[in-house]
Chains A and B, each alone.
Chain A
Amino acid sequence: MRVTFTANGREVTADEVWEGESLLYVLRERLGLPGSKNACEQGECGSCTVRLDGVPVCSCLVAAGQAQGREVETVEGLARGEGELAPIQQAFVEAGAVQCGFCTPGLLVAADDLLKHNPQPDDADIREALSGNLCRCTGYEKILDAVRLAAARSAAAGTGGAV
C-alpha cells in the first residue's frame, strides 16, 4: 500500500508498504529517518517516541497506515535549522546526558514535550514524564540535569515552554 503523511513539516510518501509494518519501520527503512530507535519494538522503552498530531507515541506500536494524512514529528525535526540545536538537544550534549545515545532521540522528544506543557517542572514531574523511556548507560542523573538546564535557560530567556 501507499502511505502519505507529514514528517517534520514535509510531505512524505512510502510505496509498497506491507500492512504489518509499523510507523517506526517506515520512518527508518523507507523514508531515511532512522533517528527514532528500535530498542524493544513493543512499546516498553520509549526509544522510538515521536509526536503524532502533537501527541507523543511509541512509533513501534503505530501501524504505518494509521499515520496516513497525519503529522509526525521525529527527533530529526527538533533542531531549529541547519547547525542550530534545540535547547533541549544542546542541554543533553552539555550535561553529559548522552553516552551510547540510543535512548536519546526518544528521551529528547519526551523531554521536549514535557517542557512544552510544563516549562518549569520539578524533579518529580521530570521523573514521571520520562518514566516511559529506558536508559541503560547514564543512571538518568545527567538526563535530569539536562532537563533542568533547558528549563532554567528558557526561564532566563523568558521563552516559557518554547524550547
Chain B
Amino acid sequence: MTATRCPEPTPTHAAASSAGIGASTLRPDGILKVTGEFAYSSDLWHEDMLWGHTLRSPHAHAEIRGIDVTEAVRMPGVHAVLTHDDLPAATHYGLEFADQPVLAKDRVRFHGEPVAFVAADHPETARRAAAKIKVAYAPLPPVTDEASATGPDAVLIHPGRHDHRSDAVPHPNIVHHQPVIRGDDGAWAAAKARADVVVAADYEVGMQDQAFLGPESGLAVPAEDGGIDLYIATQWLHVDRQQLAPVLGLPEEKVRLTLSGVGGAFGAREDMSMQAPACLLAMHTGRPVKMVYNRYESFFGHVHRHPAKLHYEHGATKDGEILYVEYRIVLDGGAYASSSASVVGNAASLGAGPYDIPHVRGEALALYTNNPPCGAMRGFGAVQACFAYEAQLDKLAAKLGMDRVELRRRNAVGEGSLMPTGQEIDQPAPVAELLRRVKALPLPPERDGGWGRAAAGEDVDVRSLPGGLSNTSHGEGIRRGVGYAVGIKNVGYSEGFDDYSTAKVRLEAVAGEPVVLVHTAMAEVGQGGVTVHAQIARTELGVDRVTIHPADTQVGSAGSTSACRQTYMTGGAVKHTCELVREELLRRGRERLAHRHPAWLAGVELVLESGKVCTHDGEPIADLVEVLGEEPIEIEAEFHHRPTEPFHPRTGQGAGHVQYSFCAHRAVVEVDTDLGLVKVVELAAAQDVGKALNPLSVVGQIHGGSTQGLGLALMEEIQVSADGALIRNPSFTDYLIPTILDTPPMPVDILELADGNAPYGLRGVGEAPTLSSTPAVMSAIRDATGLALDRVPLRPEHIAGHVSG
C-alpha cells in the first residue's frame, strides 16, 4: 500500500493502576483529531487514483427504457462508465434481504437510486460525465403510504419477492409484520370493560436523518492477487465484505477491508454506500478509485429513520393503574428492506414502553413504498413508539388529574417484571428511580418577575429567548413548561441472532517491558471503543502500554457498532481474550517458576498488576516479563452473549432481547406562543449504565443522544413530497440539526446498577437517551401550551394561533 494516508496502530500509554476500567481515560486518537492528522475515509490519497461518481435517478418510480453512455465515455479524463449490464457477478445486495440492485436495471424505485457509475481523473470531470449519460425514464405513479401500498390495486414494489419473511406477511408490500399479544381474549375484554378512563390518539413521526458529519467515502485499491483492498468508513467491516464479495465475484479472502477514520455513523453506515461502486470501478480500470459523497448526495446515499404513523389506546382505573394498551405502528421502509424487519421487531416488542401493563394488543409493520429507503438510526424502532406512548401517559395523567411522574412511577417496570413478549426483566430496571432523580433536580431559575417586564421594554439578552438573535421576541407571549419522559431500549441484536465479537490479544516483551496489542474489527465511529479496549486490557493484564491495531478483516468479525452493543460485545471479547492470555501466562509461570514461590502451586488466585504477577493480597511474586519469556502469547477468541429467541409470528412471545437500557429526561422549555418558537432551557437526564467503563465517554454519549432527540422534536425532518416521493430538502441549509444555540445545558445523573449477565455489569448507553429526549421536550411544550402535539418534529404552525390566552 503506497497510499500516503492510511490507518496506523494507535499506541496508548498510561498507568494500568489509574487508567483501567472506570477511569475517564482520554481518547488515544484525540491528539490526531485535534491536530488535523487523523486520516478520515475522505482524506485518503493514492498515487494514480481516479475519482468515482454515481448517477442517480431523479424519479421515485420509473421504468428505464434505455441508457446511452456514448457521450460520457468519450469525455477526456473519463476512464469507466458502468451500468447494470456491466456488473460482473451478483447484481443485488442487502443487510437482511438481498433486494437492492447495485445498479438499477429496468426500474428505479426511489429518488436517488444509482443508475450508473463513472470513474474519471477529477471529481468534477466524473460529475460532468455522469450528467452526459442519457437515461430514458417512463415515470410511474409512486407508492407512498399504507393505502397505496396495500390497497386493492397496489403496485408491487418487488414483484415475485422471495425472502425469509415473504410467506408470512399479509401483503407483498409489507416487509415484515409483528404482533405482540399479552393476555387472552376474555381477559382483554374484561380489562377494557373495567377501565374508568380511556385515552386514544393517532401520532406521527417524521423522517429523521442521521446527518453524521463525515460523508460517505473511501478508497478502493486493486491488488496484485486479483483481489481488492478497501479503506472505508463503516459500522461493520465483515458484513460489508459479506455483501461485497458476491457483487465483485471474488472469494471473501480476496476482499480485504480496513477501517478508515469515521466521521460519525448513528446507523447510516450499516448499509453499504460507495463500497461496491468504488471496488467495481477499481477492478474495471485497474486503478485506485476514491469516492466521496457531498452533503447533497449523502441525503440520497444512506437510509434514514423510518417515519411512522402510530395509533395508541390506553385504559386505566381512576387510581391510575393502566389496565391495557393497544397499539399499531406503521413504519415506512421505503423502496428496499435494509434493516426494516428488525426495526419492526423492536417497535412491536418495546411498543408498550417501560410499563408493566397486564393486557397488550400491539402490532408493528414496515411497508415497501417508493419513499427513500429507511433502516437503522440510533434508537432503532424504539424512538417512534416512545414519542407516542409518552404522549399517551401525559394525556392519561391529565385526564386522571394525576401528577405525570406519579402515574409513570406507579406503572413502571422493575426487576422481575414481564415484558409484553413474556420475557422477564432479570436485571435492574430502575425506571421509577430515574424519574425520581430527574424530578428532584433543582429547576433552572426563571427570569426575575417572568418575561413580562422585558416585554414592557426592560433590556433583555435576546439570545436567551425563543427565536434568539432573530430578535423575534423581547418576552411577549413567552410561557415556560416542564416535561418528563422515560424509555426502554434493547441492547445488542435480538430475535435469536448471534452477533458475536472477536478479539486478538498479543502480550509480548519489548525492551524489557510488557506490551499488549489489541486487534479487533470494531468500527470506531467516535463512540470511544478504542479508549475502552485499552482500559480493559490494562485492567485485565496489568500493563501500561497497550496498542490498538487498526480494525480490519484480517481478524474475526466484531459485529456492528450499533445497538449499543460494542462495549458489551467487543469490550466483552477483549476482556475474555485477555483472560485467556492471563491463563496461559500463569500456566507458564507454574511451569517455569513454581520453585520460586509457593503461591504458584497453592491454588490461590493470582492477579496481574503493574507489570507483575501478585498474590490476591498484593504480594508480587514475579515480573510479568520474566514469566512471559521470549515467546509472545497471542490468542484470538470469540465472545457470545446469552442466546435469544425469535418472537412468535402471531403472539410476539419470546425472550427476544439480550439486555434492556433505560433513560429518563426532564425538559424545561420556553415557548413563544405567538410565533410557535421554542427554546429548550434545560434537558436533564438520568440513566442506568450498569458500570461506566469510561464516565467521560458515557456522559458524552448521553449528551449526544439527547441532542439528536431534541432535533427530532423540534427541527429534523426529511421532507418528501406527498405526490412524487421526492426529497425536497437534501442540504444542511434545509435539513436543520441542532446548533450550539439550540442545545441547552444538559445535566446528567448516572446510576450504576450492575447487570449480572454483562461484562463488568455494564449496560449499553448510546441509544436510550435518544428515545426519551424527544417526548420530554414535547411534554414540556404540552405543559406550556396545553396543546395535544401529536406529531414530531413540531412546526411553528402547530402552536401559533392555537394557544388560548
Contact = CB atoms under 8 A, between A and B. Distances in A.
Interface of A: 18, 20-21, 28-29, 32-42, 44-45, 47, 74-76, 78-79, 85, 89-90, 92-94, 96, 98-105, 108, 124, 126-128, 130-144
Nearest to A92: B34
Interface of B: 4-5, 24, 26-27, 29-31, 33-40, 42-43, 45, 122, 124, 210-215, 261-266, 292, 294-295, 461, 463-464, 469, 525-528, 696-697, 699-700, 703-708, 731-733, 737-741, 743, 745-746
27 contacts: A18-B124, A20-B124, A39-B214, A42-B295, A44-B731, A44-B733, A76-B36, A76-B37, A89-B35, A93-B34, A94-B26, A99-B700, A101-B33, A101-B261, A102-B40, A102-B264, A108-B34, A127-B740, A131-B740, A135-B213, A136-B212, A136-B708, A137-B700, A139-B738, A139-B746, A140-B740, A141-B743
B704 A128 contact: no
A128 B463 contact: yes
A38 B34 contact: no
Contact of A85 (B35, B526, B699, B704): B35
Contact of B213 (A47, A126, A144): A47
A101 to B, nearest CB: 3
A4 to B, nearest CB: 21
Contacts of A32: 4
A40 B38 CA distance: 19
A140 B708 CA distance: 12
A89 B42 CA distance: 22
A141 B57 CA distance: 40
A136 B740 CA distance: 10
Given A39-B215, A98-B33, A101-B33, 10 more contacts: A35-B37, A38-B42, A76-B35, A85-B35, A96-B699, A101-B263, A126-B740, A138-B700, A139-B703, A141-B745
Q: Which 9 interchain pairs have the tightest Cβ spacing? A: A35-B36, A100-B526, A102-B263, A101-B33, A139-B703, A139-B707, A44-B732, A34-B43, A99-B526
Given A18-B122, A37-B263, A136-B264, A124 B294 contact: no
Contact of A93 (B27, B36, B37, B733): B27
Nearest to A75: B36
Given A93-B26, A98-B27, A38 B292 contact: yes
A133 B124 contact: no
A45 B213 contact: yes
A130 B700 contact: no
Contact of A41 (B214, B263, B294, B699): B294
Nearest to A103: B213
A93 B30 contact: yes
Contacts of B707: 138-140
A39 B733 contact: no
Contacts, number: 182
Given A34-B43, A41-B295, A102 B34 contact: no
Contacts of B31: 85, 89, 93
Contact of A37 (B122, B213, B461, B739): B213
Nearest to A96: B696
B214 A124 contact: no
Contact of B214 (A29, A100, A108, A138): A100
Nearest to A44: B732
A135 B703 CA distance: 12
B194 to A, nearest CB: 44
Given A35-B36, A41-B295, A42-B732, A137 B469 contact: no
A23 B461 CA distance: 37
Contacts of B38: 101
A154 B24 CA distance: 24
B149 to A, nearest CB: 32
Contacts of B30: 92-93, 98, 101
Contacts of B696: 96, 142
